[in-house]
Each structure stands twice: as structure tokens, then as C-alpha cells.
């Protein structure tokens, strides 16, 4: 079993305190780093299974830490901490195996739930993925391990299990986009929005990729986590089923 020690990397003291208190209250052992250089030194010197990494830090930023960690400690899972709904350089972040993020501000339960899922994900075997949620965790496990072909296969299997949920379509779109298949990625984002018109990650991804076709500046891939009710914006109700022909084409 992988180590479950957790390294918290953030230049803000109150954020480090919030995260470590939330995690240690559940028995996880934690350590902290105030910048990228200290984080890399601690990763080299000690055994960690997970790193919570702020992207916006003075000096070495989070993306550079992620690049170096992917080379030097590819076994360490990463949860990105961000103040925004999308992640700058998210295409590269996914290529480096980072698919989970915490959006500030976050509640202790939100922190613990996500950390639990990410740590448990490492032990999931394909034979255990019998439902939609576990299949999605396999998708993310494969992205963590940089096995993108397998991640795409599991995303399609998740869609076959439940074609009325948007997240697998959005993840499949992101994987296709990373592979350079922009039009196919847009198709998956559109299907996600047909399934759930309120699904913000797919809406942002579709808007960004269509803007790129018009020559706009490159944006970010939204990976699927949304602000919870009471933290983020209000979400409008209303759904309509996906066009069956289009859905079949996206499979």
C-alpha cells in the first residue's frame, strides 16, 4: 500500500493550517512547505503518498513543482489548490497526472472527502469498477498514472453505464483534447451539456475550444469539480435527454 502521508504546499499560513487541521483530525499524518523549493526538498527526503499543491506561489510556482514532481516522484498523487473555477495550464496539468483540485474557499468536509477518494483510488482494480462512480475513479487513476489510452477506455465504459450524467462525457472530451482531437472533444462537451445544461465544466470547455477556433487566446480545461451549493454560484434547473444519435457517435 502506498504511503498516506500528505504534504501541504501553500504560501498562505491560514490555508496550510486549515488543511492540516482538517486532515489530522481524521488521523492522516501531514507535513507542510511554504514554497516550491521546500516542497521538492521534502519530496526528495521523505515518503509521501499525496501532495496538496497551490498553483500561485511566489518564486517557483505550482506548475513548475508539478513538472519536477512528475519526473522525480511520479508515485505521489497531486491535488491542485486554486482560487479559480478553472486551472491555468490545465492541459499540461492533466498530462502530468493531476486531475483533482480544491477550489478556495473550501470546507473541512470537502477537503477530507476529496483526499479520501484520491488515496483510495490507488487501490481500485478494474474488476471492482462495477458502477458509474467507481469507473470514473478508474478514469482518474489512469490519468494519475499517465495511462491516457486506458483512461479514455474507462471513460467510455462509464458513459455506457449511465448516459444521463455529464462528468464522463466531459472527462472524455478533455482526454481527446489532450490527444489533439479538438472537434471530437467539442462533440463530447456538447453531449455533456445536452445531458445536463447546468454542467459548468463542459460549458467552459466548449466555450474555450470554440473561441480557439476563432483565434482567441488559449484558455484552460475545466476538469469537472464544481463549487458546492452555498459556495459557488446558483445553478439553474432543467435537463433534457441527449440526442441518441449524437451520443452513439460519441461512444
Rounded to the nearest 10 degrees, how much is the dihedral formed by the CA atoms of 186, 179, 175, 220? -70
pLDDT score recorded for residue 227: 47
CA gap 93, 179 in Å, rounded: 14
CA gap 164, 235 in Å, rounded: 18
Lowest mean pLDDT among 59-68, 70-79, 81-90, 231-240: 231-240
CA gap 169, 223 in Å, rounded: 11
53 forms beta bridges with 9, 80
Q: Domain 127-249 in CATH: superfamily? A: Tetratricopeptide repeat domain (1.25.40.10)
By CB neighbour count within 10 A (0-12 exposed, 13-18 middle, 19+ buried), where does 12 fall? Answer: middle
DSSP string, 185-243: HHHHHHHHHHH-TT-HHHHHHHHHHHHHHTTPPP-----S--PPTTTS--------PPP
Residues 112-137: what's their mean pLDDT? 90
Q: Is the pLDDT of residue 29 over 70?
A: yes
pLDDT score recorded for residue 187: 97
pLDDT score recorded for residue 232: 38
Q: Is the pLDDT of residue 164 over 80?
A: yes
Q: Where are the domains of the chain?
A: 6-121, 127-249
Q: Is the pTM of this model over 0.85?
A: no
CATH among 3.30.565.10, 3.40.640.10, 3.40.50.2300, 3.30.980.10 for 6-121: 3.40.50.2300
Better pLDDT: 127 or 166: 166
Confidence of residue 220 (pLDDT cuts 50, 70, 90): low
Give the position of cell 471530437: 184
Amino acid at each position: 500500500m502506498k504511503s498516506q502521508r500528505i504534504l501541504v504546499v501553500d504560501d498562505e499560513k491560514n490555508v496550510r493550517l486549515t488543511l492540516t487541521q482538517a486532515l489530522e483530525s481524521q488521523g492522516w499524518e501531514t507535513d507542510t512547505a511554504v514554497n516550491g523549493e521546500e516542497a521538492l526538498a521534502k519530496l526528495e527526503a521523505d515518503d509521501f503518498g499525496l501532495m496538496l499543491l497551490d498553483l500561485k506561489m511566489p518564486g517557483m510556482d505550482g506548475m513548475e513543482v508539478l513538472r519536477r514532481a512528475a519526473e522525480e516522484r511520479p508515485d505521489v498523487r497531486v491535488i491542485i489548490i486554486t482560487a479559480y473555477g478553472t486551472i491555468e495550464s490545465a492541459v499540461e496539468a492533466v498530462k502530468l497526472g493531476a486531475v483533482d483540485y480544491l477550489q478556495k474557499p473550501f470546507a473541512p468536509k470537502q477537503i477530507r472527502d476529496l483526499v479520501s477518494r484520491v488515496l483510495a483510488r490507488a487501490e481500485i482494480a478494474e474488476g471492482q469498477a462495477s458502477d458509474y462512480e467507481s469507473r470514473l475513479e478508474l478514469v482518474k487513476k489512469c490519468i494519475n498514472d499517465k495511462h491516457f489510452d486506458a483512461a479514455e477506455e474507462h471513460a467510455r465504459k462509464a458513459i455506457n453505464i449511465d448516459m444521463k450524467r455529464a462528468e464522463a462525457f466531459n472527462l472524455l472530451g478533455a482526454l481527446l483534447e489532450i490527444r489533439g482531437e479538438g472537434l471530437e472533444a467539442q462533440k463530447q462537451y456538447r453531449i455533456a451539456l445536452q445531458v445536463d445544461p447546468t454542467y459548468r465544466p463542459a460549458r467552459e470547455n466548449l466555450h474555450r475550444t470554440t473561441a480557439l477556433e476563432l483565434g482567441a487566446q488559449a484558455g484552460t480545461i475545466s476538469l469537472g469539480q464544481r463549487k458546492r451549493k452555498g459556495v459557488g454560484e446558483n445553478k439553474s434547473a432543467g435537463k433534457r435527454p441527449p440526442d441518441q444519435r449524437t451520443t452513439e457517435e460519441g461512444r
